[in-house]
Amino acid sequence: MTEHSPLLSAERTRPAVLASALLRGVLAAGLGLGSVLVLVMVLWISSPASDSGPGEALHTAAGLWLLAHGAELIRTGTLTGTPAPIGVVPLLLGVLPVWLVHRAVRDVLEPDEGRGAPSPRGAFGLVTGGYLLVGAVVALYARGASLSAEPLSLLFPSAFVVAGAAAAGVWTASGRPLGPPPFWAPVRLHEAMARSRFARRAEVVGRSAAAGVTVLLGGGALVVAAALVWHANPVQESFLRLSGDWAGRWAVLFLALLLVPNAAVWGAAYGLGSGFALGTASTVTPGAFAGRPALPDFPLLAAMPAEGAGSPLNWAASAVPVAAALTVAWFTARRAAPAQGAREGAWSRRETAFTAALGAVGCGIGTALLAAAAGGPLGTRALAEFGPVWWLTGAAALAWTAALGVPAALLLRAWRLRGRIAPEQPTAGATAGPDSTDGTKKDEAKEPEAAVVAPGPGEPGEGATPTGRRWWPWRSRRKAEPDGPNAETDPVPGPAPVPGHGPAPAHTPVPVSVFGRGDPADEDIELYDFLPAGPWRASAVDERADRSAEAGPVRPPDVTS
């Protein structure tokens, strides 16, 4: 349907292009749902003592697929009979749907050769609409099952997650621009971003913020790994106690792997000092493990620190935000003071500090979003709060990276600029002119210099003051040649006597060529030089031609001598 035909016009093929974009959104949703379904069916088939049929396995797969988008599930099969919410999203399970939506939009906007593509807004709307259409069907199918989705959570954050992934695909297909705001933004916003330096430094801010969040996640994963090794015996006992057969143990192991990114976010929150909640009556921070925790039996939760005040080993987790702050500072300083270049090409201290502060803000926002996704309720009453508090975690990340990152960026900038070449200063011999009324000093080395002109018949000879002052921009760069005299200060022997005009003076200044040399041979060479275009060219050539006509023919130098 999407293949072009030479008999079809572009207007007639446009519906096929739009239909292809819609089908790509449906296909992306089907691939994600099929992957979760295959996984659940494999675990159901391998279970030796399954007390449910294939219909229940299909409903479970539908619920897990909705949970991967951020939807909150309602579990009805509880011991007390009261429905319990499940809001903790396995982040690794949510990577697949987000990547599929992103890839679908990018493929629509980057079609194969010979196929058309819709507009960016059209691709965004069609792919998102096709994906959400499948999501609505799956939500209706899972309604009334043991794992059903709460209707409001299907709008936020599930639909928001899909739209964000599609928008990221449009941005990637457009070349990742960091230019002006969208066309529908107010005119004042366009003008403000055009004048501000943030628009030009947006790439530095984004990279430093992303690097800071990555270091926080990596450090949190190291904290969790160290805790698992330190509490190896309780973790092993919990793993063996949850299931007695290998099929159940594989299911527990797979669920633990899906929750590893969540554990990394929890470890980052622990290192930041904000900690996380293990129920409504317990909080875990490096300072203390206070309250009565509501801990389900799970291997990752068995690696919690001991209750009571924290030890110096617990406070060692504070190295994670310190490393994140230094990372933000390094990514800022490497652009503020490049490895090569003069000092004047570097950013100012104010601009460096402002960019580092913006990177800290981006790091805080990213950490807050991850903390909101990594936590959630696991039940009612005591388990209504489980995981890090998103706003507290984001504020802690902002405080750490701003308090340490901004001074570190300034210090790194100063360290990278050591020994650089400073901007050129005025010449030491510059003095203030005697007739200057404002008292300011003038650089005599930068004064326009008079071009020495050869006297013609009837004009004053040696010692005469030139009437016109001409300045050539490149003369200051060629003051003296190593193989010849200084064309501006030293007298140069004049040319050979010309018949009919008398002998030439002993020390007659000769015309200075455009290259700053006083060689008489340059009179013939400079006629073939390419002069810069400008309003002075015609007058200079005409003046040279008039003087040559008045002086008569010039004998070329004797090259044999």
Residue, of 266 and 509, whose pLDDT is higher: 266
Whether residue 456 lies inside any domain: the answer is no
Domain boundary residue, one of 386, 416, 446:
416
Which pLDDT tens digit goes with each residue over 527-555?
444 444 444 444 444 555 555 555 555 55
Range of the domain at 231: 202-416
Give 154's DSSP letter: I
Q: What is the pLDDT of residue 452?
A: 41
Whether residue 219 lies inside any domain: the answer is yes
Q: What is the pLDDT of residue 554?
A: 53
Region for 291 from its dihedrals, namely left if φ exceeds 0, alpha if ψ lies in -120 to 50, beta otherwise: left
- Note whether 210 and 169 are same-domain residues: no
Written as one string, the DSSP assignment of 155-180 is IIIIIHHHHHHHHHHHHHHTT----S
Whether residue 363 lies inside any domain: the answer is yes
Domain count, the chain: 3
Q: Is pLDDT above 90 for 123? A: yes
Which pLDDT tens digit goes with each residue over 134-174?
999 999 999 888 889 999 999 999 999 999 999 999 999 88
- Note whether 89 and 233 are same-domain residues: no
CB atoms within 10 A of CB 306: 10
Three-state secondary-structure class, residue 308: strand
- Note whether 295 and 395 are same-domain residues: yes
Q: Which two tokens stand for residue 507?
A: 């020390």
Whether residue 69 lies inside any domain: the answer is yes
Whether residue 466 lies inside any domain: the answer is no
- Note whether 163 and 127 are same-domain residues: yes
Which pLDDT tens digit goes with each residue over 325-353?
999 999 999 988 887 766 667 888 999 99
Which pLDDT tens digit goes with each residue over 76-114?
877 777 888 999 999 999 999 999 999 999 999 987 766
Q: Is pLDDT above 50 for 446? A: no
- Note whether 115 and 232 are same-domain residues: no
- Note whether 271 and 353 are same-domain residues: yes
Give 287's DSSP letter: S
- Note whether 24 and 80 are same-domain residues: yes
- Note whether 29 and 134 are same-domain residues: yes
Question: 138 to each of 34, 130, 145, 146, 523, how far by Cα in Å?
Answer: 12, 13, 12, 14, 89
- Note whether 78 and 135 are same-domain residues: yes
Whether residue 400 lies inside any domain: the answer is yes
- Note whether 158 and 227 are same-domain residues: no
Question: 442 to each of 226, 423, 489, 533, how far by Cα in Å?
Answer: 68, 18, 21, 30
Half-sphere exposure at residue 365, Cβ-oriented, CA atoms within 13 angstroms? 11
Whether residue 56 lies inside any domain: the answer is yes
- Note whether 171 and 206 are same-domain residues: no
Write down the residue that tokens 């099969």 correspond to.
77
- Note whether 405 and 499 are same-domain residues: no
Q: What is the pLDDT of residue 430?
A: 43
Q: Is pLDDT above 70 for 128? A: yes
Q: Which two tokens stand for residue 61?
A: 């797969």
Question: 236 to each of 38, 267, 389, 486, how far by Cα in Å?
Answer: 28, 20, 29, 88
Q: What is the pLDDT of residue 551?
A: 55
Q: Is pLDDT above 90 for 133? A: yes
Domain boundary residue, one of 363, 398, 416:
416
- Torsion, Cα 315 317 323 328, to 10 degrees, reads -100
Read off the pLDDT of each residue in 261-279 and give the average, rounded to a whole number: 95
Long-range contacts of 422-431 (CB under 8 A, 24+ apart): 422/342, 422/343, 422/344, 423/342, 423/343, 423/344
Whether residue 286 lies inside any domain: the answer is yes
